[in-house]
Structure 1
Amino acid sequence: MEIPSAFNSGLQGLQKANATAEQAAADIFASTTYNAEQQTNPANSGEVNTEVTKASNHLDLPDLNQAIVNLKVAEFQAKASIEVIKSADDVLGTLLDVTA
């Protein structure tokens, strides 16, 4: 059985945090872009449309609040992964100092 090194675990954590942050950013962009398009109605010569339509409830848009939370989670995941890599580096340095 192969045991992954701390460096690999930290790197995998950073990659997962990056993927989570990219998805959250895409969800935030999709949500805010759709809302901006719905508020401006070209038929009203640029006036802001404040009506809420039932059709917008049926669309499968990402939740803006959840996307922001996911972005913050990715930030903390990246910070934790960096700490794992730093700790692995320190341990490796200590081992090299002891054996040298």
Structure 2
Amino acid sequence: MEIQSAFNSGIQGLQKATEVADQAAADIVAQTGATREVDVVSQAAVSSEQKIPSLNQSIVDLKVAEHQAKASTEIIKTADDSLGTLLDVTA
């Protein structure tokens, strides 16, 4: 595995984690915003009509994105350490 591909994998992982976190945050806002604006009587009808993801799933997705970002950061750190070691050995 090349050092460059390890860096790329880490960066791609961070980008994906950011996308997932952004979507989860938007879903949480949509879910909590919708429940405030709807009457208690018509809340069940709106929930069945709209395709709003569940709040629990959005929170889980946000936590998964956090772990993915941490793992991607570790990949970048490891690639950086490996590059530093290679430079030290060749110097």
Partner deviation per Cα, 1:63-89 (whole Å, 9 max, x = no partner): 111000000000000000000000000
Distance in 2 of aligned mates of 1:74 and 1:6:
19
Q: Which amino acid aligns with 1:67?
A: S
The partner residue of 1:51 within 31, 41, 48 is 41
Q: Which residue of 2 aligns with 1:22?
A: 22
TM-score (norm 1): 0.81
Per the alignment, residue 47 of structure 1 pairs with none
Residue segments in structure 2 that go unaligned for 5+ positions in a row: none
**Partner residue of 2:81?**
90
Separation in structure 2 between the aligned mates of residue 70 and residue 54 of structure 1, nearest angstrom: 24
Partner in structure 2 of residue 8 of structure 1: 8
Alignment of 1:51-70 (within 5 A): 51=41, 53-56=43-46, 57-70=48-61
Deviation of 1:51 (Å)? 2.9
- SS of residue in 2 equivalent to 1:5: helix
Q: Deviations over 1:18-68 (max 9, x none)?
A: 0000000000000000001114xxxxxxxxxx4355422122112111000
Is there any run of 5+ residues in structure 1 with no aligned partner, and where? 40-49
Partner of 2:36: 36
**CA distance, structure 2, for counterparts of residue 60 and residue 97 of structure 1:** 55
CA RMSD in angstroms, aligned pairs only: 1.5
Provide the TM-score with structure 2 as the length reference: 0.89
What is the aligned-residue identity percentage? 61
